Amino acid sequence: MRHLRMVPDHTNIDFFAIARVTFGGSMLLVVISIMAPFIWGLNFGIDFLGGTTIRTEASQPVNVGAYRKALDPLHLGDVIINQVFDPSASTNKHVANVRVSAEKGHESIPPAALKRIEGALQKVDPSIRFTSVNSVGPKVSGELMRKAVMAISGAVFAVMAYIWLRFEWQFALGAAVATVHDVALTVGIFVLLQIKFDLSIIAALLTIVGYSLNDTVVVFDRARENLIKYKKMPLRDVLNLSANETLSRTLMTSLSTMIPLIALLIFGGDVIRGFVFAIAWGVITGTYSSIYVAKNIVLMLGVKRDWGKKDDGAAGTQFAAKG
């Protein structure tokens, strides 16, 4: 039986041949992506802008599409509608959450706008009533943003610590740069396309950190084995060999991950589209960075060859010159 292969069994691609374009271009894009939110701004959702959450109850089943169509003429800005399965509600009641972003300079939507929303929804279902109305002000939103930045930063430092303990500090720095590359480029594409940026995207960024680490560790693990196995081979050749040997696995993993993500992008609906897009983009950048970013950092820093010997302090240079 023949197995499906993305690439031939034995490849000999020189991944450093155009490093000025691949690595240099990546670093330039990272710098632009980090600056982009401050220059052009992210398209923040309700979670970070503040707004009002309206809980509705109705005797008829929730029709998210009809609700959204009824609210479109009101030009409310960012509106998120979710059906809620509430066990405390009576069996003949159907519950939904309608989240509406606040206007600039306001902490919540005004009472007049609430009346318009209620009137529009009652045209879809006359039995709809508002059971609760809660507002999230800008102070709470600012706190959420700070915690989101702390969560992503903590994940990157955890990645560095893990790689450092498992390999060497040069590998840890390479993995950290690759992870920052993936997260930064994801934020950059959200700025460029002005896709809604909310808490679900933070969850996607944390998932990307894990995916990036997984891909990078596979290449690094093979590199460590080859550094011990081929003691006289220059570091550049060892890293190229390791990337070629794991290339099929890397591409197959990425492809198998992308198939359900593409299906969700097409059929998943507006509610999860931003989250799925972020994950899909992260898979692409994560695959790229494990091949073209992480290894370049290790090559520039150099790394010791024999893990069985004590570090004599020259681990960072003894192979760099040979690469």
Q: Residue 171: give its domain's CATH number.
A: 1.20.1640.10
What values do phi and psi take at 284, rounded to 5?
-65, -50
Prediction pTM value: 0.77
pLDDT at residue 140, rounded to an integer: 59
Distance CA(32)–CA(243), nearest Å, equals 28
192, pLDDT greater than 60: yes
Q: How confident is the model at residue 74 (pLDDT cuts 50, 70, 90)?
A: confident
The structure tokens 């041949």 sit at: 17
Region of poorest pLDDT, from 37-46, 62-71, 87-96, 274-283: 87-96
Question: Is the domain of 99 the same as that of 59?
Answer: yes
Question: Is the domain of 164 the same as that of 261?
Answer: yes
Residue scoring higher pLDDT (156 or 197): 197
What values do phi and psi take at 129, rounded to 5?
-140, 155
Helices and strands of the chain, counted as H and E runs: 10, 6
90, pLDDT greater than 80: no
Question: Is the domain of 251 the same as that of 114?
Answer: no
Highest mean pLDDT among 62-66, 277-281, 306-310: 277-281
Q: What is the mean pLDDT of residues 120-128?
A: 90
188, pLDDT greater than 90: yes
Within-domain flag for 118 = yes
pLDDT at residue 33, rounded to an integer: 95
Within-domain flag for 318 = no
Q: What is the mean pLDDT of residues 84-93?
A: 68
Q: What is the mean pLDDT of residues 217-226?
A: 88
Residue 39, both tokens: 């220059």
Q: What is the CATH number of the domain that holds 80?
A: 3.30.70.2040
